[in-house]
């Protein structure tokens, strides 16, 4: 991937317009989406920049409200600050909040390209996904590690991405849950059976050991925080290691 200058003068894309979000990737083009939750908050922009310059395909932004999950993280202002600094990289916002519908317009206006909500967070999942698309963003749906993929069957026409959580959400650095990882294969088979075209993203415990299995099962996007930011050599080395591991599974 060509490095994106932090001082680029290119116009900021409209939400959802990032070209590499328009299609499923070739199996040889698995996307790496570092989770900035693991960045050094005192040097936040530098950490995000190291990911972008190090070859990240997307930036993953975990939004937690301290109610839906036991942690408190970012709001729309973080997205608003990153958007002009890195105008050409997709910003993938994962809403782990109790009332996701209330935040859609705020994050879209801040510059999110994709907004993912939890199926467990709203009784009106289809309406919420439709609202995301209505503001020009791609729509994603996530489920906790124990949430069955069948829950998504009735909203497949409204989904651009399905996020598989392979840890219990709330904090980074947790151990990968193999049973949750098995859902990747289930979702890939469902995608084929239904003729759907959603992307499959995996978040939680993703590293150079777990990613080959996930890619073989059908994962398109690997979200990694601790492995990328704590790698010897920093994010560029972590991203390169993940990419090699993903390629080994193809």
β-pairing, 199-203 vs 221-224, is: parallel
Q: What angle do CA 137, 152, 140 make, to 5 degrees?
A: 20
DSSP one-letter code for 55: T
Distances (CA, A) of 107 to 36, 70, 83, 100: 16, 21, 11, 10
Catalytically active residues are: 62, 203
Least Cα distance to 27 among 243, 218, 234, 180 occurs for: 218
- Find residue 63's DSSP bridge partners: 95
Residue carrying structure tokens 């036991």: 70
Question: What residue ranges in 35-191 does DSSP mark as E strands?
Answer: 59-64, 91-96, 114-118, 138-143, 161-165
Q: Which phi and psi angles does 120 have, rounded to 5°?
A: -80, -10
Backbone angles phi, psi at 63, to 5 degrees: -105, 120
- The answer to whether residues 136 and 16 touch, using CB atoms and an 8 Å cutoff, is yes
């Amino acid at each position: 991937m060509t490095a994106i200058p932090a001082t680029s003068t290119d116009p900021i894309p409209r939400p959802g317009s990032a070209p590499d979000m328009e299609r499923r990737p070739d199996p040889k083009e698995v996307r790496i989406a570092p989770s900035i939750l693991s960045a050094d908050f005192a040097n936040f922009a530098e950490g995000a920049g190291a990911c972008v310059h190090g070859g990240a395909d997307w930036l993953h932004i975990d939004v937690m409200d301290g109610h839906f999950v036991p942690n408190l993280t970012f709001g729309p202002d973080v997205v608003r600050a990153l958007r002009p600094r890195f105008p050409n990289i997709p910003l993938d916002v994962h809403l782990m909040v109790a009332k996701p519908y209330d935040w859609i317009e705020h994050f879209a206006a801040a510059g999110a390209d994709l907004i993912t909500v939890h199926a467990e967070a709203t009784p009106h999942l289809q309406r919420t996904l439709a609202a995301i698309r209505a503001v020009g963003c791609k729509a994603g749906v996530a489920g906790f590690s124990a949430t069955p993929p069948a829950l998504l069957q009735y909203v497949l026409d409204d989904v651009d991405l399905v996020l598989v959580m392979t840890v219990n959400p709330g904090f980074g650095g947790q151990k990968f849950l193999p049973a949750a990882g098995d859902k990747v294969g289930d979702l890939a088979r469902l995608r084929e059976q239904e003729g759907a075209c959603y992307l499959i993203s995996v978040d939680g415990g993703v590293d150079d050991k777990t990613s080959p299995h996930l890619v073989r099962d059908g994962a398109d996007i690997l979200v990694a925080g601790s492995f990328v930011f704590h790698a010897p050599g920093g994010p560029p080395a972590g991203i390169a290691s993940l990419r090699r591991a993903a390629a080994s599974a193809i």
